[in-house]
Amino acid sequence: MLEVVTESPELDDALVSTRRWADEAWVHAQFAWLRENDPVRWMSPNGFDPFFSVTRHADIKAIESDKKLFINDPRPILSGKILEALTQHLAGRRHLVRSLVTMDDPDHTRYRALTQRWFMGSNLRRLEGRIAELATEYVNRLADLGGECDFVKDVAMWYPLRVIMSILGVPDEDEPLMLKLTQELFGSADPDVQRSFEPESLMDVVADFEAYFQALTAERRAKPTDDVASLIANARIDGGPVPELETNGYYIIIATAGHDTTSSSAAGGLLALIENPGELAKLRENPDRHMGSAIDEVIRWVTPVRQFMRTATDDCRVGGVDVAKGQACALWYVSANRDDAVFEEPFSFRVDRRANHLAFGYGPHVCLGQHLARMELAALYRELLSRVDHVELNGDPAYTRSTFVGGLKSLPIRYRMK
């Protein structure tokens, strides 16, 4: 029986403990209890400003649907007081990165419009051939590794990185740097990937990102090409170039969120298929019928973005609980996607499940790259199904310690190619 912590401050502190998030079963047990007993819970964990934990699908969807009543700024993600104070003190700004994630209207709509058409499914279809080639390249890597590998470290972290870097226009030789910085940014509390144990190191990571992308902006303004970096570098806001802070923020969110989330889904989906051989067989038998729903089930199952936050602009009620103007709500997507009020047998992995998850968010801030993520995952799994005859675990999977973006950091497998 998994331990379920129910009393404050024990639960409050435990839920924000990155160490606890390395144990997915424990995390899901806490959220199951919260959904049933305290779905909009006021929390005051040590080292954090208080907030409501919102854990039910319906309540999260309602909050995300109302961009006037619930805004992203000033607290778009869950972070401790120390990091928030350091950001203000060392960087001289409210957020480490100013991106779509931190914006509200009118800025959000204007900045999102700069790239929204580029990331529409109709435009992305022209990339299908290239993405399929990259999927083949990384399954070839599996074949070359001789039947055993760590799927995360050998395939899952590199394939979506190559896709997103090619879209951005980052040269192949700079991909290891981009991977390192992404892991340090999202895994800042994980000892396996963090730069140092000092909070200031996270700001150094952002500074390294900004230095790289400032140089890329200058290159693309001098000599534009057909990539997203050129689109951003030469975009116009209010009749002039996009300011440097927002330009860098755009690059960083695409480079990091566009890679790390898909990497987590690719690895977590393979683990789910290994652990559910009947579902793997169903997908093998009819990939054309089930691939679309299977990809969404993978994304629901993994939910690589665990939470975002919103702040109430007026007094209101959420799930029958009074929320005062200025109070923040943590939207736990990882909990919403296991809500049995929405999903039949939510802890069962089903490749033919009808998609109704919130892993991409909902409403005006829904993930800009959702169509690309689905395309990448479908290409990879089609290639795996057609060329891998058998796959099984070859050791214990391991998860990142992160309350924000995370998933598997190790997936040792044994496999046989066809």
CATH number reported for the structural domain that contains residue 122 in this entry: 1.10.630.10
Q: What is the mean pLDDT of residues 36-59?
A: 96
What is the reported pLDDT for 193? 47
Percentage above 90 pLDDT, the chain? 72
Radius of gyration of the chain (CA): 21
Q: Whole-prediction pTM value?
A: 0.92
Of 66, 32, 34, which Cα lies nearest the Cα of 53?
34
What is the reported pLDDT for 196? 45
What is the reported pLDDT for 386? 96
Tell me if 364 is assigned to some domain: yes
Please check the confidence at residue 20 and state whether its pLDDT lies above 70.
yes
Do residues 263 and 163 lie in contact, with contact meaning Cβ atoms separated by under 8 Å? no
Of 208, 196, 348, which Cα lies nearest the Cα of 278?
348
Q: What is the mean pLDDT of residues 270-274?
A: 99
Q: How confident is the model at residue 204 (pLDDT cuts 50, 70, 90)?
A: confident
Tell me if 5 is assigned to some domain: no
Q: How confident is the model at residue 86 (pLDDT cuts 50, 70, 90)?
A: low
Rounded-to-integer distance, Cα 52 and Cα 54, Å:
6
What is the reported pLDDT for 252? 84
Tell me if 1 is assigned to some domain: no
The DSSP call for residue 305 is B
Residue 320 region, left (φ>0) first, then alpha (ψ -120 to 50), else beta? left
Classify strands 328-332 and 388-393 as parallel, antiparallel or unpaired: unpaired
Tell me if 3 is assigned to some domain: no
Tokens of 62: 């309602």
Tell me if 96 is assigned to some domain: yes
What is the reported pLDDT for 381? 98
- If one counts the domains in the chain, the total is 1
Domain that holds residue 121: 10-417
Alpha carbons within 13 A on the beta-carbon side of 418: 8
Q: What is the mean pLDDT of residues 100-118?
A: 94
Spell out a b/e string for 300-328, using b for 16 or more CB atoms within 10 Å of the CB, else e: bbbbbbbbbbbbbeeebebbebebeeebb
Tell me if 2 is assigned to some domain: no
Looking at per-residue pLDDT, the higher value among 84 and 183 belongs to: 183
* Range of weakest confidence among 93-102, 116-125, 402-411: 93-102
Rounded-to-integer distance, Cα 35 and Cα 55, Å:
6
Tell me if 77 is assigned to some domain: yes
